[in-house]
Chain A
Amino acid sequence: MKIHEYQAKELFRAFQVPILQGHVAKTPEEAQAAFDQLGGSLAVIKAQVHAGGRGKGTFIEVPAQRGVQLVRSGKEAAEAAKNMIGNRLVTIQTGPSGSPVHQVFLEQGCQIARELYAAVVLDRAAMKPLLMVSSEGGVDIEKVAEETPEKILREHFDPAHGLMPFQVRKLCKKLNISGPAAKNADIFFRKLCDFFVKLDCSMAEINPLVITKDDKMIALDGKITFDDNALYRHPDIKELRDVAEEEPAELRASNSGLSFVKLEGNIGCLVNGAGLAMATMDIIKYHGGAPANFLDVGGGANTQQVTEAFRIILSDANVEAILVNIFGGIARCTTIAQAIIDASKEVGFKVPLVVRLEGTEVEEGKKMLRESGLAIISADDLTDAAKKVVASVGK
């Protein structure tokens, strides 16, 4: 689960990760009031969306407006907020349709001496959390990783005792940070790693992380992703979920316990198991088709879930055919067959339906489908299924 920058900063404050003063605003009037409340002669107004690349992003409705802007008066803040709120921001990460902006965040300005990059992630290879710090802040870190990987410093740490002081000393030495700034770095990095562990993050990225002219170290941005599996122990964080940021069909699927990802093609897929679901997308492509989605109904799917899965697939106007691929293990073929029959009664299939069943109770399942009188194209194996479904949209 992802959260907004302003939410991340509230959490940073609670964990003593240094940040600037800031206020969230939902209307231009609130933005103006927020500017006045900050009390400075300058502030930064930032559109709140989960996607990155906001500074260079533009609004569909107001192309001249960027996602991040310096403002010098309450009036300027209100004006920028008016351009942002209710409109859609397009960045390199949002796709062409952009993300809707429902609130903005106003933050104090500061005197920047250096911009760094910091992120804590889970390193799968080392099976440990990893702090990455780079002298190249404020830029596309993936580019840095590719072109000058030596500029990214890495320190693994044990979540049981967190990042050790010597590790920060190593980092400071290499980054040429000394004096009071080094002391602040010790606080910053160790608090950040503590934050990552205590809140079960899967990523905490700060870009840029700045050192101010008076040697403070401050998180100017905050991009946090939480481990969904650990949300049960953080009910307060669960509350921060913003469903407006999620693809509607994906949201609907997750509410029914289905795993769904929307894609650009025209062949809907309904599969049990994540690996088989991916492989089903692959084989459709292999035979010249294009999958419209990834959909895993899971091992213990019941009739209601499968019916909902069909509804979600059919709600995509691009879908011209559906491929059902089930290898029954725990999930029985008879359950799936019954769900297909029920779903057809309820939602009706106006597009060709290719079904491949294998595994537990396969003969009974196939018999149920034959006797249902539904216009189902049955397939014997994966290749047969893929070829038939690709052929059915080619007509």
Chain B
Amino acid sequence: MSILVNKNTRVICQGITGKSGAFHTKGCKEYGTKMVGGVTPGKSGETVEGLPVFDTVEEAVLQTGANATMIFVPPPFTADAILEAVDAGIEVICAITEGVPVLDMVHVYAAVKRSKSVLIGPNCPGVITPGECKIGIMPGYIHQPGKVGIMSRSGTLTYEAVWQTSNLKLGQSSCIGLGGDPIVGTSYIELFERFEKDPQTEVILMIGEIGGDAEEKAAEYVKAHVTKPVAAFIAGRTAPPGKRMGHAGAIITGGKGTAAEKVKALEAAGIVVAPSPADMGAAVAEALRRKK
């Protein structure tokens, strides 16, 4: 078991004829993901990596039975692409694109929540269930099938955590990059709910960062509803207020969203917090030990 995606997931790529779309379609296919096609308006009949290209998502779903998509279309067209995937009934939508206007996401978020689709991203590395299905841009080889469920707002920091848990021979059940934007499709809480129910996941690692209050809300949820051990790391302890740290969401405003506040909330919920990013794997191991 795993969450969101597995060996039976059938994946298309929206924006497959673009440079990034084609490159990562190849990467996912090589990893073993069941890539079944792609969509670029006006390019039906072409093939990329031996996969058929369709004009619309609806057509792609009809012809290939796709139930997941990864989106690489440029930012001005991303909202449209996500809504097209929702309309076609795609179950798991990963929007990799960085730079989507935030007000576009207000509309998209509301539409996704009215549907049965799950949206991961935008501005995220994607989703992977090691050994079964990789949808996104993460380097596949660092992953190992195993017991840690990982979720994060950041890409490369997730790789770091994956690497550490692989080195400790813990492996991962599924890893999800939520995305670094102020509004993303899926929250930590929704993923905690899924990891809690997933028999393969024995321990959960949440990698947060400064800004907003998503980590505090997740801590409350964990305290009330999660029985599995949880570890966490918060990036940005040294970030100055008022400065945006790369991600549009990573900014401390009005004294809110500081790392110190977040760490306090997490620890109060019984979560093992890694003091340094080098200790994420160790924190996971510690959380597992404490629970036994």
Contact = CB atoms under 8 A, between A and B. Distances in A.
Interface of A: 93, 122, 124-125, 127-129, 142, 145-146, 158-160, 197, 200, 202, 227-230, 232-233, 259, 261, 263, 271-286, 291, 294, 296, 299, 327-330, 358-360, 381-383, 386
Nearest 8 interchain pairs by C-beta = A275-B154, A274-B246, A273-B156, A275-B157, A230-B101, A279-B277, A276-B156, A382-B278
Nearest to B105: A127
Interface in B235-275: 235-240, 242-250, 254-255, 259, 275
A329 B125 contact: yes
B278 A381 contact: yes
16 contacts: A122-B182, A230-B101, A263-B240, A275-B156, A275-B246, A276-B156, A276-B235, A278-B210, A278-B239, A280-B277, A281-B238, A283-B277, A283-B278, A296-B246, A359-B163, A383-B276
B125 A282 contact: no
B88 interface: no
Nearest to A201: B103
A256 B157 CA distance: 23
Interface residues of B, number: 61
Nearest to B100: A229
B249 A124 contact: yes
Interface string B160-173: 10010000000000
B95 interface: no
A127 B183 CA distance: 6
B160 to A, nearest CB: 6
Contact of A227 (B103, B107, B152, B210): B103
B131 interface: no
Contacts of A386: 276, 278
A391 to B, nearest CB: 16
A381 to B, nearest CB: 6
A261 B251 CA distance: 12
A263 B238 CA distance: 10
Contacts of A229: 75, 99-102, 248
A284 to B, nearest CB: 8
Nearest to A275: B154
A275 B109 contact: no
B103 A197 contact: yes
B277 A124 contact: no
Interface in B189-232: 207, 209-210, 212-214, 217
Contacts of B101: 200, 227, 229-230, 233
B246 A330 contact: no
Contacts of B255: 142, 146
B44 to A, nearest CB: 28
Interface stretch (B10-18, B62-70, B134-142): B134-142
Contact of A275 (B75, B155, B248, B259): B155
B34 interface: no
Given A232-B76, A275-B247, A282 B236 contact: yes
Interface in B105-126: 105-107, 109-110, 125
Most buried by A among B107, B139, B183: B139
Contacts of A283: 276-278
Given A122-B182, A230-B103, A296-B246, 18 more contacts: A124-B213, A127-B106, A200-B103, A227-B102, A274-B247, A275-B157, A275-B158, A278-B246, A281-B238, A282-B235, A299-B137, A327-B160, A327-B163, A329-B156, A329-B159, A383-B276, A386-B276, A386-B278
A146 B255 CA distance: 10
A301 B52 CA distance: 30
A275 B207 contact: yes
A290 to B, nearest CB: 8
Nearest to B277: A279
Nearest to A196: B103
Contacts of A228: 248
A327 B156 contact: yes
Given A124-B183, A127-B109, A274-B247, A329 B138 contact: yes
A122 B102 contact: yes
Given A330-B137, A381-B278, A383-B276, A279 B233 contact: yes
B183 A276 contact: no
Contacts of B180: 274-275
